Amino acid sequence: MFDTKIAILVLEDLPVWQKLNVTAFLASGIAGIAPEAMGEPYADAADRPYAALLGQPILVFAASSEVLLRARDQALERDLARAAYVRAMFSTGYDAANREAFRAEPIDAPDLVGLAIRGAKKDVDKAVKGARLHP
């Protein structure tokens, strides 16, 4: 039904609250970079408006640090839409500080705790190889 796939990989050993937080931030990143992936706004039975959501399923995976880095490399190589979250961002309190923390990470080995990617199904499947669907 969809030409593209959205996958979110989250570091497997994070506390649950951090996994949920990272997943929410990364989903919003995909929505921001791929506005064409958004569905139409919602309305309830009383015709009260609600925000649009991403218009396709999102698969959430648990991954090791190594798998996260490999998926990031694959996403870069295949030019997939991507959003990333690094451990240092847990200690910041606002968007500008998050960007500074992200930029300060080592280029070849950032301390990734989450990665979201969107692109052609076959490319996303190759990028998430080694990750497992989150239980």
Residue 104, beta-bridge partner list:
none
Q: Is the dihedral of CA 82, 87, 88, 92 positive or negative?
A: positive
Selected from 3.40.50.1820, 3.40.50.720, 3.40.1490.10, 3.40.980.10, the CATH number assigned to the domain covering 4-37+54-133 reads 3.40.1490.10
Is residue 39 scored above 90 in pLDDT?
A: yes
Domain ranges of the chain: 4-37+54-133
* 7-36 pLDDT, tens digit each: 999 999 999 999 999 999 999 999 999 999
The pTM for the full model equals 0.94
Please report where in the chains the tokens 């937080």 appear, as a residue. 21
d(CA 111, CA 92): 15
Mean pLDDT (whole number) for 97-114: 97
